Amino acid sequence: MNEGRFGRGAGALLLSSLLCGCAHPGTASSFSGTEPWQVFTSPHFEVETPLDDAAARTLVTKLEQYRGALGVTLGVELPNTRLKVIAFAKTGELAALGFPPEVAGFVRFDADQVFMGLQPTSERQSVPLGPVQAHELAHYFMSFLFQTRPRWFSEGMADYLGAIELGTADFVVGRANAMRIGQARYHLSLEQLWGWDVPNSELKNGRSAYASAWLWVHFLLNAHRDRFTGFMQGLARGQPARAAFERAFAGIPAAQLEQQVGDYVRTDQRYEVVRFPNPPLAGPVSVRPISAAGALWARYLVSTSPEVDAALSREAAQKFPGSIEALLIEATRARPVNPIAERALQAAGSDDPRVALHLAAHCEALPAGACEDLTRRAVELCPEEPVALRARLQQLHATGDDVGALAMVQRLLRVAPFSHAALSAAVWALAAQGRCDDALAVSQRAAAAIPEALDEAARVKLRLALENALGSCRP
């Protein structure tokens, strides 16, 4: 069964701010901006924004610089993917779309899609890219590099990498975060941090957990770099995290590490700072305008509030009746899937990539036999989109095309290691073909990719579904 809807899933928001309280949705008038929007496309980013030309180009340059700096810092070749970014020009835009007012940036992992949202952190900031946003970018790129990522490692590394300082000719890595040093003086033990991954963990998302994760990563990188590198290599190969750590740090008792990290944060603080030359920028930037309806669709993608969604839907119907965007909003809001809305979208233009992706993911609501053509067309128009690849995989699996399904699994694993839905679909296909070792390995990655924002009941349901997918492989 296809699940979720393109761009509007119950995905995880990896927010480096500590969220609390209620969302603060805006009113319909908040969305009726008159500023023109454009999309700036570089080799690795597609930025939709109302920023002026100079500021938008500066943002794209900084995004590419940060991606390059990340690769140099980790000593790896990052995947040649393109991340969608929606960058607002003013503070308060995210709050108007349902976010708590302290949130300045996020990476949203929906059922099959990932994209980033940004806004300036102050009225004086013309280009919305700082440590908060870099932290979120680090999460995205780490999903491609590390098959297993315990929570403390993921958050600590995102803080460490998010502190990369970009200069005009070089960049700096490893500078200590003064706020985290203060928060970490009474830090959690590593044994406590391993418990962050346990269902219903008492750690939740408190400052102490984040600060302790940063401290342990910073300490281990500085004091035990070779061993920590071995640990990261184990995670990259998909080894169970705890076993990879114990193998890398064999011979050093846990009590000794605890003593060392305490000394490190309170007295030693020998933070190694490294300066690297900037890598070459990757390719040119192209620019094209976005219609007012397209800008409204971008806001709808970002929105986290049902009230905001409803207001945007009304605005789209009133201002842009019959437009692709108005039809998409109507179709994606429907629960359950509305066949009439799906057919209206199909008639409006399935050559629009956004429409093709949505129809492929919901082809079962259309007349029998529609899935073959719609999933094939979606892959033709969007060969790197997880939505299209997952829908096509499910169609190939359903029709018994094992060779085609295996090829699609390989493509999915390459472009969507962050997606629980994509990884789960791969598990079903691999287990059905008797490739049980591969299915088990991918199921572990799928379990780790279950969105953090889901409540525990929903997470249990997804874990049970993975167990069912592996049923034919169990003795």
Tokens found for residue 52: 């002026």
Instruction: Report which DSSP code applies to 380.
Output: H
Distances (CA, A) of 469 to 63, 111, 264, 422, 431: 38, 18, 46, 13, 7
413 close to 393: Cβ distance less than 8 angstroms: no
131 close to 155: Cβ distance less than 8 angstroms: no
Give the DSSP letter string of 4-16.
S-TT-SS-EE--S
Write down the pLDDT at residue 353. Answer: 93
Q: How many helices (H) and strands (E) does the chain have?
A: 21, 10
260 Cβ neighbours under 8 A, 6+ residues apart: 219, 223
Residues in the chain: 475
Write down the pLDDT at residue 112. Answer: 61
233 Cβ neighbours under 8 A, 6+ residues apart: none
Decide: residue 38, CB within 10 A, 0-12 exposed, 13-18 middle, 19+ buried: middle
Write down the pLDDT at residue 48. Answer: 96
Write down the pLDDT at residue 271. Answer: 67
E strands along 88-140, which residues?
Answer: 105-109, 114-118
Domain residue spans in the chain? 1-18+30-146+275-304, 176-272, 419-475
What CA–CA distance (Å, rounded) separates 472 from 172?
51
What CA–CA distance (Å, rounded) separates 95 from 128?
15
Give the DSSP letter string of 447-461.
HHTS-TTS-HHHHHH
* Mean pLDDT, the chain cut into blocks of 10 residues (475 residues total): 35 33 39 79 95 92 92 89 91 92 80 79 72 84 88 92 90 81 81 82 71 92 93 91 96 94 75 85 90 95 94 95 94 88 85 92 88 94 91 91 92 86 90 91 84 78 91 78
Write down the pLDDT at residue 31. Answer: 54
CATH number (3.40.30, 3.40.50, 2.60.120, 2.40.50) of 1-18+30-146+275-304 reads 3.40.30
Write down the pLDDT at residue 420. Answer: 86
Helices (H), 75-150: 93-96, 131-145
What CA–CA distance (Å, rounded) separates 467 from 475?
13
| Cis amide prior to 336 (ω within 30 degrees) | yes
204: alpha, beta or left? (left if phi > 0; alpha if psi -120 to 50): left
